[in-house]
Structure 1
Amino acid sequence: MKPKRFALTAATAASIAMVLAACSPASDNGGGDESSSGDKTTVTFRLWDDVAAPAYEDSFAEFEKQNDNIEVNVDVVPWSEYWSRIPLDINSGDMADVFLVNSSNVAQYADNGSLINVSEAIGDDHDEWEQSVVDLYTRDGSLWGVPQLWDSIALFYNQDLVDAAGIDVEDLTWAPGAGDGDTLLPALQQLTTDSNGNTADSADFDASSVDTYGLNAQADMQAMYLPWLAENGAQFQNEDTDEFAFASEEGVESFGYLIDLINEYNVAPSAADTNTNGDLSRDLFNQGKLALFQSGPYSLPQIAEGATDINWGIAPMIEGPEGRVGTVHGVVAVGNANTENEDATIEVMKWLGSAEGQAPLADQGISFPGAVDAQQGYVDYWDEQGVDVTPFIEAAKGDTARPPVGPAVDAGTNAYTPPLADLFLGSDDLAKGLQDAQDAGNAAME
């Protein structure tokens, strides 16, 4: 589809592999000390995205109308310093009363007693929340955050390119080694062309002069290798110990398929380019030089704004040996267990968990809201732009793979990512390379 119009008011939900950068300076307001304005109690809400902040401002304006004894201050801290400031501010007593976190960072604060137990403070008396996000932030039988935003994975496609190649984008399946049942590789070979118009399955194809690639087979955790692992029965992390477990036989098959698309079949952009520019594939899609782009709604604003010269649509994600298994990641609002404004803080958290409180996030196209009854607003926003976001909703309802979790998973991810990215350049011993990357990640989590 070619969007009818696009208003630049949308931002994206955060995740492990893709995060929203906020460029507004942080305020000096902390949440540790009780503050008041007249008879009002002031609650501070911290986030990292200065584009989503106005939607939260609108939400809190309505909250304050309904709760005239509570005032909410929105504190935007840039992503570049967001996570380093949290432990410092918790220790100093300057932490906000309510703040956003992702799944990589919640466990350590839940485990050390820094967060309000949502199961105890709010219980079951709330609007329905997206269950996959609830599951992601449930630890030791308790929920530690109020679902705010979520995203899933689907397939953006260039309508003209797939039509010209006769490709059915809803019938794309990969199999280890491009073996029996694989329809993806032949499709990508038809969709990949060189500067002379030769397809990648042609003897005359010039891999050094590719004009249009088939797919973004890059070292993208959320959109590519997490789903690829899950669709082949492999684990990213051991479900019991949280140790990385991707170097299994099935994991080698999964990574090997993606790496071969780049280095053996030349139907995906070079890892030398995508490793240094994670947005390259999206930009190529916008330019009409990439036929298929598997990604999440976090890419939607940039595609809607940038791909104005092509006809595009959104289809279900690529299927694997065990079906379609996507990744649902979410962001939650957590409460500071050391707040001196506990009652007011819990009231703000209840509001943030309501469909009414999340309506501005949906209606302004920020992201899928965590409150199920607010999600139609996001659907309607994009429908007005001529974009059908249904595949993302269906992906969230289907089988999903768990994003990284655990109190030290950030350190582990930072350790394994560089050697893993190097493997996408091509490897003579992929099994050993994956094992080394996995060992580095697990060592960093000890």
Structure 2
Amino acid sequence: MRKRLLPIAVAAAAAIALSGCSAGAADKTTVTVRLWDSGVAKAYKTSFAAFEKQNPDIHVNVDVVPWADYWNTLRTDVADKKAPDVFWVNNSYLGPYADSGSLLDIGKTLGSDAKKDWSPTVVDQFTRDGKLWGVPQLSDAGTAVYYNTALLTAAGVTPKQLDELTWSPDAAKDTFLPVAKKLTKDAAGVAADQPGFDGGTVTQFGTNIAYDLQSILLPYIGSNGGQFQDGDNFAFSQPKTEQAVTYLVNAINTAKVAPPASDTNTNGDFSRDAFLQGKIAMFQSGLFNLKAVSDGAKFEWGVARIPAGPAGAVSVTNGIAAAGNAATTHPDAVKKLLAWMGSKAGNAPVGASGAAVPAVKSAQQGYFDYWKREQVDVQPFFDVIGKGAKTIPAPQGANFAKGQAAYDPILQQVFSGATPVPEGLKKAQDLGNAALND
């Protein structure tokens, strides 16, 4: 899931070698690791260089496949028995590979004690039928709101106000949309809350509300007390979910405070790029975009809490695991590499680079130290998943990918305004569930 269940969709070379050793050396066993995030791939370069020093007979090749192509490529490669030795998986796409016997049982491979230093929430996400099917690598924390300080100041909005915003289907109780309107301006510089605002010539949007499953849709559904799934089945058409989606669709198509769905439905990076260009004031997203914002923003920015709904501030939290290919021809080398990737030394470079939160608990401090040096407060991402916080489950089920492929075109129509919300949600739910149970 978005994306990213959700990590960043990367326009990177389809395959890049990131180790200093020669992949063709006759005296070395080459093990390939596939992932979709080029930022983490750079951190892996440091990690695997250290691994190779300890294991001079093994060379690690890193294969970066952009998110947009990742799952189709992996499905084809697994079916053709050409899959890499180790590859990233997320919770939403885990089921078919675990159930088909395509993955190594981590408990059998590394022993039951291996998981003691791994984030329990990530371990739980990749445990199926009592077995762990991947070595936790990243812990994605929750969702927060990046903001452009100058755009807030110009509209008379303070960061403290953002921390206290609430949204509601009841307009009388809604404080989020009025602020988003203040931060939205047309080509003449007229704000959306002022007379004469031209919604057809918006040059600055207040928010990035869009059909974004992880960063927008799930938090809004959860914060209204709704459901995305009931068990493995989709539950889009229940009243509280319908209210949340209606709010989002109206923000885009009626209030005009967010980019049109034609720009965002099929381009998960549109809003991030627009935020970096100074065209969006509030950008709701996860830690997977923190490094890109830090590196790309040429303006002062900060991070605030997500708006709370009638059920409070609710986020989804996700993890990423490295799965071992059960059909690998290098089982001993893969076992050694998986053990390394699940160790403090192996996972620490990911956090030390600021690319992501390591899922190995003893390796996490480096991440917080990195962003403290950068003077970035990452606490809002963790407030929504801390003790006592409410979360909404990430998508699940062995056939989730099939269900998503069936409902996705309908939800795109809903967010574009082409299909009424109640009708569209019911149709998307029915098509998705039919695909799940086919």
TM-score tier by shorter-chain length is: 0.7 to 0.9
> Aligned partners of 1:41, 1:276: CA distance in 2, in Å?
40
Matched to 1:183, the amino acid is T
Contact 1:229 1:246 in 2 (8 A): no
Instruction: Report the secondary structure of 1:176's partner residue.
Output: coil
Residue 187 of structure 1 is aligned with which of 174, 179, 184?
179
Distance change >3 Å, CA 91–CA 281, structure 1 → 2: closer
Report the CA distance between 1:327 and its aligned residue.
1.8
Quote the residue 2:414 is aligned against.
423
Contact 1:41 1:344 in 2 (8 A): yes
Matched, 1:227 2:216: no
> Aligned partners of 1:156, 1:137: CA distance in 2, in Å?
29
Matched to 1:200, the amino acid is A
> Aligned partners of 1:86, 1:427: CA distance in 2, in Å?
33
Matched, 1:108 2:99: no
Report the CA distance between 1:368 and its aligned residue.
1.5
Spell out, residue by residue over 1:367-395, the C-alpha distance to the aligned partner (whole angstroms, 9 max, x if none). Answer: 12111222222223333333222222333
Distance change >3 Å, CA 52–CA 244, structure 1 → 2: same
Q: Taking every aligned residue pair, what percent have the same amino acid on both sides?
A: 42
Contact 2:147 2:304 in 1 (8 A): yes
Quote the residue 2:128 is aligned against.
139
Report the CA distance between 1:77 and its aligned residue.
5.0
Residue 230 of structure 2 is aligned with which of 235, 238, 245?
238
Contact 2:3 2:268 in 1 (8 A): no
Matched to 2:241, the amino acid is G
Q: Calculate the TM-score normalised by the size of structure 2.
A: 0.87
Report the CA distance between 1:20 and its aligned residue.
3.3
Spell out, residue by residue over 1:118-140, the C-alpha distance to the aligned partner (whole angstroms, 9 max, x if none). Answer: 23433133452233322221212
> Aligned partners of 2:203, 2:29: CA distance in 1, in Å?
60
Distance change >3 Å, CA 71–CA 245, structure 1 → 2: same
Residue 243 of structure 2 is aligned with which of 239, 253, 258?
253
Report the CA distance between 1:195 and its aligned residue.
3.9
Quote the residue 1:155 is aligned against.
145
Gapped regions of structure 1 (runs ≥ 5): 1-12, 29-34
Matched, 1:213 2:213: no
Q: Could you say which structure has the higher helix fraction? A: 2
> Aligned partners of 1:96, 1:384: CA distance in 2, in Å?
36
> Aligned partners of 1:127, 1:72: CA distance in 2, in Å?
28
Report the CA distance between 1:48 and its aligned residue.
3.8
Matched, 1:63 2:54: no
Distance change >3 Å, CA 278–CA 45, structure 1 → 2: closer
Gapped regions of structure 2 (runs ≥ 5): 18-23
Matched to 1:313, the amino acid is G
Note the aligned Cα RMSD (angstroms). 2.8
Q: Calculate the TM-score normalised by the size of structure 1.
A: 0.85
Q: What is the total number of aligned residue pairs between the two structures?
A: 422
> Aligned partners of 1:197, 1:36: CA distance in 2, in Å?
62
Matched, 1:379 2:368: yes
Matched to 1:327, the amino acid is V
Matched to 1:373, the amino acid is S
Residue 171 of structure 1 is aligned with which of 164, 178, 188?
164
> Aligned partners of 2:378, 2:397: CA distance in 1, in Å?
31
Matched to 2:175, the amino acid is T
Contact 2:44 2:349 in 1 (8 A): yes
Residue 437 of structure 1 is aligned with which of 428, 432, 436?
428
Report the CA distance between 1:267 and its aligned residue.
1.9
Matched to 2:196, the amino acid is D
Quote the residue 1:45 is aligned against.
33
